[in-house]
Structure 1
Amino acid sequence: MLFEILLAVVMGAIIYLFLTKKKEDKLSMGDGWWGKGQKPDSEEDVAIYPFKVETSDSEINYLHRRLDEVRFAEPLEDSRFQYGFNSNYLKKVVAYWRNQFNWKKQVEVLNKFPQFKTKIEGIDVHFLHVKPSHVPEGQSAKPLLMVHGWPGSVYEFYKIIPLLMDPGNHGLSSEHVFEIICPSIPGYGFSEAPHKQGFNSVCAARVFYKLMLRLGFQEFYTQGGDWGSLISTNLAQIAPSHVKGVHLNMATVTTLHFKQLLSITLGRYLPGLFGFEEVDVQRMFPFKTKVLYRMLAEGGYFHLHATKPDTAGCGLNDSPVGLAAYILEKFSTWTNPAFRDLEDGGLEKLSVQVPAGIASFPYEVLHMPQSWLQQKYANIVSFSYMARGGHFAAFEEPELLAEDILQFVGKVEKGNFAKKLGCGLL
C-alpha cells in the first residue's frame, strides 16, 4: 500500500510538472502546406473526385508470394498473448489470409459506401460521404464527421453507418438521422501522407474543418475515439462556432490539477470527495495495476511511434505478416485485456466549450472519470458508462455507440431549441 501511494505521488508530480510547463492559453487554427516541394503560387484545386478501392491480380499474387515466404519466430513455451502476438496463432491467421480470404468480395465490401478524394493543403484527402436514402418528414439529416484512430481506418465505421443513417429500421430512436462524413487521417488508408515534418492533431483537425466547409457544412457534429478523439477535440477548439457538439468514446486530459493528483492516492477510499462514481473506482483502482502497469504494458508502441517512426515503418511497410501481427495484437488486448491469456488473443491546450458527450467503455486502454474530464470539456451534457466494449467501439459495439450518439445529439438539439426559444421571449 505504501509503495502504491509513493509511486502514484511521484508519477503524478512528474506528469504535472512536465505537462503544465508549456501550457498555452489558446489554440489557433493556423495554416499549412504538406505537399511535395514548395507551395505553388496557383490556387489549390478544390474539386472533389469520386474514388473506388481497386486491386489487381498482380498485387494479390505478390502478397501471396510474400505470405508463402514468411519466417515465423517460435513463441515461449506456454505463452499466449502476454508478450505480444503469439506466432502459433499468427500461423493460422496467415493460412486463412493466404488460402481462404476473398479479395474480390472484400473490395466490394470496401466500396459499399460512396467515397471521394479532394486536395487540401497539398495532399489528397480520402473520405466516405454517406447520405440517408430517406429522411422522415419534418426532419433534416444532421452532418456528422466521424474520425477513426490507430490502428484503424474508416472501415471501423462500416457497421455503425447504417444505424445512424436509418436508426428507426434498426430498433433505435428515429428522432435524428445523420449524413455521415468519414475521412481517412492523412497517412492512413487512402489519404496521402504529409511530405513535411510537423503534422499533428491540430493540423488534421484544420484539414477536416476545411473539408466540411468544402462540402457545404457550416455546422456539424463530430465523433471519434483514440486519435479521432483528439482531432475532434481540437476541431471543437479551433472552430467552436461550427461544431455543434463533440461525442467521444475515448476522452483524456493531459494536465492534472492538485486535487486530481490527490485523488490518485485517496480516491479509492474517499470517492465522493473527488466526484468519483463507483464505476470509476472499479476501473481505476488499484491504480498501480489498472493504470500505471497497464499503460506501461500497452504504451510501448506510442513511444516508438513518437521517437523512431521511420525505423518501425521500414519493417512494417516491408512485411505484410509483421504488419498484421502489429495491428491485430491491438485488436486483441485493446478490446479486452483478459484476451492476453487466451490462445487466440480473443495536448492539453484549452477547454472545449461546445457540448460534449462521453461514452466510457469498460475495456478502454485508459479510464478517466467525469470529474477529471470536466476541466477540459466544460460542457459535458452526457457521460455514459457503457455496458461492454473496448477501444474500437464503433467496430465492436456499433449499436451501443449509435444509441449513445443519438441520445447525446437529442440532448444538444433540445438544449439549442430551449436557448432559441428563450432568446425569442426576451
Structure 2
Amino acid sequence: MTAKPFHIAVPDDVLHDLRTRLARTRFTAVSDPAYWAAGVDPGYLRELVTYWSDGFDWRAAESALNAYPHHLAEIAGRQVHFVHIRAERVEGAPEPLPLILTHGWPSSFVEMLRVAERLADPASHGGDPADAFDVVIPSLPGFLYSEAPQEPFTRRRVAEIWHTLMTHTLGYRRFGAFGGDIGSGVTQWLGALYPESVAGVHVTSAVITTNFQNGPPTADERSFLDALDAYSANDQGYGAIMSTRPDTVAAALMDSPAGLAVWIIDKYRDWSDCGGDLETRWDKDTLLTVATLFWATGTIGSSFRQYYDYPRNRPVPAITVPAAVTLTNEPAYIGYPRSLAERLFADLRHWRTPERGGHFMAHEEPGQVAGELLTFFRPLRSEG
C-alpha cells in the first residue's frame, strides 16, 4: 500500500484529437432569447470552444498542476490518485495535523489546491505557523486518475478507502476531514466510522437527514424541506438522467468535448456564487483545465457512478466527533436551519453561514474556507 510519485502527462495525440474535434463542433440554436435561460448559452459556448481550440495552453496548465506533489496508491485493488502537500515546518512548532479534503461533482482535486496552499503554509498568508496542516487531496473514485471502485460507489465505501489511505498508506494516526457535496457525505462517514482516528469533521453542505425519530420536523425545518423540493423540481434533470441512464449521456459526452464542457460549466454557473456571470469566479483557463482533465482521462462517465449507485447509500450513523458547518451560499441550502445539522452532529462546535461561496466554496473562496478550517481545528490539535 505504498504511494508512488505521479506526474500528469497528456499525450500529444490526445491533444491533437481534442483540437480536431473542437474545430468541428456543431452548435445549437438558442431556445430562449434570455441569456442562459435554457441552459448554457450557445454564444458563450462558441466563444469557449474557440478559445479551447486556439488559445488555451494546456501544457502551461499541466506544468502548473505538476508543481504540486501528486501520488498514486493501490487500495483495495484500485488506483487512488492524491495530492499530498506537507506542512512548512517551523522549529519549535507542534507537529502539523493531517487533513484530508474531499471534492464533489462535477469537481476535481483542482478545487482544493488554493485552500491547501494556505493550510500547509499559513505563515506565508499572514497566519500562525503552528496552525499548519499536512494536506491530502484525493480524487474521488472514478474521477480523473482514481479508478472507479469494483463495488458500488457509496459515501461509506469512499470513507473506508480514505481511512486506509490516511492511516495505512500514509501512516497518520489521527487526522481531520473536510468536504463539500459528495465530499460532505464522505467526511461525515469518516467521522461516524472512525472516531478514534478522526479529530473532527468540517463540511460546507450538510446532508439532509431523513431521521426524525427524535421528533418531527420543526416549522423551520419543514419550510426548508418544502423549499428544497420546489427547487429540486427545476434543477434535478441532470441528476435524473445520470441516475437512470448514465451510460447514455456519457456516450455523448465522451465523444464531444463541447458537450462535455457544457455539462460541467452549466453547474459551475448555476451552483456557484457568481450572480449569473460565470467568469466572475473562474476564468476560461481554469474552466478548461478541469474540462481537459476529464476529457484526457475519459472519466466523465465513471464520475456518474455515484449518481447511479446513490440508492445504495444508507443514513449516516450518529456522528460524535467534533463537527463544523460553513454553509454554502447556493440555492439548495437557502434557509437551511442549524437544527437540521444538530440532528446529524452530536457535537456541533462551529456553525457559520457566511453568504459567500457556493457549491464549490473552496474554489470560490479559498481564503474564507482556509480561515474556517484553521479556526475550527485549532483547539482540536491537542485533544487527541
TM-score with structure 2 setting the length: 0.85
Question: CA 1:133–1:259 in structure 2 vs 1: closer, same or farther (change >3 Å)?
Answer: same
Deviation at 1:385, TM superposition (A): 1.4
Distance 1:350 1:256 in 2: 10
Distance 2:279 2:9 in 1: 31
1:355-366 equivalences under 5 Å are 355-363=322-330, 365-366=332-333
Question: CA 1:364–1:53 in structure 2 vs 1: closer, same or farther (change >3 Å)?
Answer: farther
Would you say 1:392 and 2:360 are equivalent positions?
A: yes
Contact 1:113 1:130 in 2 (8 A): yes
> What SS does the corresponding residue of 2:173 show, helix, strand or coil?
coil
Distance 2:358 2:204 in 1: 9
Would you say 1:381 and 2:349 are equivalent positions?
A: yes
Moved more, 134-143 or 218-227: 134-143
The alignment's C-alpha RMSD in Å is 2.1
Distance 1:305 1:377 in 2: 30
Contact 1:335 1:364 in 2 (8 A): no
Q: Which residue of 1 aligns with 2:316?
A: 349
Distance 1:157 1:321 in 2: 25
Distance 1:389 1:329 in 2: 17
How many residues align structurally? 348
Deviation at 1:338, TM superposition (A): 4.3
Distance 1:141 1:343 in 2: 36
Deviation at 1:315, TM superposition (A): 1.4
Would you say 1:294 and 2:231 are equivalent positions?
A: yes
Would you say 1:165 and 2:102 are equivalent positions?
A: no
Q: Which residue of 2 aligns with 1:263?
A: 220
Question: CA 1:364–1:129 in structure 2 vs 1: closer, same or farther (change >3 Å)?
Answer: farther
Question: CA 1:357–1:61 in structure 2 vs 1: closer, same or farther (change >3 Å)?
Answer: same
Residue of 302, 319, 323 corresponding to 2:256: 319
Distance 2:211 2:48 in 1: 42
Distance 2:21 2:333 in 1: 36
Contact 1:135 1:177 in 2 (8 A): no
Question: CA 1:328–1:52 in structure 2 vs 1: closer, same or farther (change >3 Å)?
Answer: same
Identity %: 30
Q: Which ranges in structure 2 are unaligned for 5 or more consecutive residues?
A: 282-313
Distance 1:186 1:177 in 2: 27
Deviation at 1:77, TM superposition (A): 4.1
Q: Which residue of 2 aligns with 1:412?
A: 380
Question: CA 1:77–1:372 in structure 2 vs 1: closer, same or farther (change >3 Å)?
Answer: closer
> What SS does the corresponding residue of 1:49 show, helix, strand or coil?
strand
Distance 1:206 1:218 in 2: 15
Amino acid at match of 1:200: T
Which has the higher Rg, Structure 1 or Structure 2? Answer: 1
Would you say 1:137 and 2:74 are equivalent positions?
A: no
Q: Which ranges in structure 1 are unaligned for 5 or more consecutive residues?
A: 1-45, 268-283, 418-426
Distance 1:264 1:356 in 2: 20
Contact 2:81 2:138 in 1 (8 A): yes
Residue of 227, 230, 242 corresponding to 2:185: 230
